[in-house]
Amino acid sequence: MRCDKEQLKAILADSRYIDIGNLPSNFLPYKSGPDAFDKLYIRPFTVQELKLVSTAAALKEMKHLIRAVDMVISAPAEWLSIGDFYYVLMWLRIHSFPKTPLVVSWTCQEKVLTNKKDGSFFFNDGSTIPEDADLSEYEFRECGTHNSELIHMSDIEIITLDDDFEPLLPGFDFPRASHIEDIRAAVENPETRFLASAAQWVAGATFKERLATLEAQMDLDMFDTASILNERADHGVKEHMTIMCRHCRYGQPYTVTIDALSFFR
């Protein structure tokens, strides 16, 4: 939310709000402008915000999730960089539901060495196949098992900008949370799929303005600079875990995605 002095004073007097600490961006995207800030105060969701999150999950529209986040932080949620926005979402998921683990659902696509006649198989857990096994009686079949697993333990990786990361050059800006839906639409469009990652770093109030500016260039200098930024200025949060198929016992790395639906799993 956009806070004036009185609103910020009210937030500081509300014991539910705490200083989130440093953000993955080191607050670099918010050093200037009418909404400049160098601290972010946040509180967990209540049922009132969950109604917006539910709408976002049901309609698959990010704008409702951004509105929900905006209600619980001391800065405009739509102005957060995309990396910081997902970091805030991770914080909200952890602190709003401290007793409820996430549920991961997936279908195992691993190949399983299966007996052609009776359907017996060898587990994919590193077990050694007996030397006397007649492999001519077996064939590889896709496991296809649907799994659901509770996430109790995972490794959270926070990707931060380097302390000596320099401000962006004129004509460039950080991708903002308000651009997420348009960026996804651009990625789904064959004509702009491979332009979106660069266009999001071009300065502009909306992603459409950013893409239009990039398309209007007479050479590839801006595209090249923006593409480099997309690699060097990456920041945010990733949560990793190892999941195991309950049928074939194949273990694989999995990156947890925090979105609107994850608040209800």
Tell me which residue has tokens 């500016």: 213
Question: Which of these ranges, 63-77, 147-161, 206-220, 244-258, has the smallest mean pLDDT?
Answer: 147-161
Contacts 24+ apart (CB under 8 A), 129-136: none
For residue 126, tell me if it sits in a domain. Answer: yes
Given a contact cutoff of 8 angstroms between Cβ atoms, the answer to whether 28 and 172 are in contact is no
- Give percent of the chain above pLDDT 90: 67
Local confidence band at 243 (pLDDT 50, 70, 90 cut-offs): confident
User: Minimal CA–CA distance to 256: which of 232, 230, 236, 234?
Assistant: 236
pTM for this model (two decimals): 0.82
Give me the chain's average pLDDT, please.
91
For residue 52, tell me if it sits in a domain. Answer: no
Two structure tokens written together for 95: 């602190």
Question: DSSP letters along 78-112, please?
Answer: GGSBHHHHHHHHHHHHHHH-TT--EEEEEE---EE
pLDDT for position 154: 63
For residue 232, tell me if it sits in a domain. Answer: no
pLDDT for position 242: 82
pLDDT for position 15: 94
For residue 134, tell me if it sits in a domain. Answer: yes
Given a contact cutoff of 8 angstroms between Cβ atoms, the answer to whether 7 and 1 are in contact is yes
Q: Tens of pLDDT along 46-66?
A: 999 999 999 999 999 999 999
For residue 114, tell me if it sits in a domain. Answer: yes
Average pLDDT estimate for 71-91 = 96
Local confidence band at 239 (pLDDT 50, 70, 90 cut-offs): confident
pLDDT for position 73: 97
Whether 262 has a pLDDT exceeding 90, the answer reads no
Of 126-135, 161-170, 183-192, the range with the highest mean pLDDT is: 183-192
For residue 58, tell me if it sits in a domain. Answer: no
- What range does the domain containing 115 cover? 110-143
Alpha-carbon distance of 164 to 255, in angstroms, equals 29
pLDDT for position 153: 56
- Cβ count near 132 (within 10 Å): 5
Alpha-carbon distance of 265 to 183, in angstroms, equals 26
Tell me which residue has tokens 């789904």: 188
The C-alpha angle 40, 46, 50, rounded to 5 degrees, equals 100
Whether 103 has a pLDDT exceeding 80, the answer reads no
- Give percent of the chain above pLDDT 70: 98
Number of domains the chain is built from: 1
pLDDT for position 152: 62
User: Minimal CA–CA distance to 86: which of 235, 221, 253?
Assistant: 235
